[in-house]
Amino acid sequence: MRRRTAAPLIAAGPRWGGDARKIPARPPGNVERVDEGLPIAYEVLEKGVPVYASDGKQVGTVHHVVAAPEEDIFHGVVLRAGDSELRFVEAADVASLHERGVDLRIDSAAAAKLPNPHGGAPVFTEDPGEMKGWHHWLHKLEGRGDWQRQS
């Protein structure tokens, strides 16, 4: 015995011999009327990109990504809320990453209660100006980058 499933709603106007009825709107995303760009990977997420809560309010901007690039593990995002307050959003609370926006799975009230980063994971940068000399080529051969720890 086959189970019946609900058929998706389609436009059934007079042109197709049906009555003109409204089709329910697609559920809204996290942010309406904002072009966040294409989905991206955490490796290319830039500093200063707006971060939006699930209720559509901007809760801050990206300060930096917390990850283990050698193992391709995304831990989360540190966002700047207000002028100087930093908050850590773990990866499970990040719904999607885009070129011009990060969407969270939590609302703005929950985002306001996010913990401060406690320094468990250091922040590293790769400065193209420092990529010179024999140690740079040695790191290239070993598959490592020229990462510098930020203080």
From the first residue on, what is the mean pLDDT of each consecutive set of 10 residues in the chain (151 residues)?
45 49 50 77 94 94 91 92 88 95 95 84 57 66 62 49
Within 8 A by CB and 6+ apart from 31, the residues are 52, 56, 101, 103
**Secondary element (H or E) of residue 108:** helix 108-112
Domain chopping of the chain, boundaries: 34-119
What CATH code is assigned to 34-119? 3.90.50.10
- pLDDT given for residue 146 in this prediction: 57
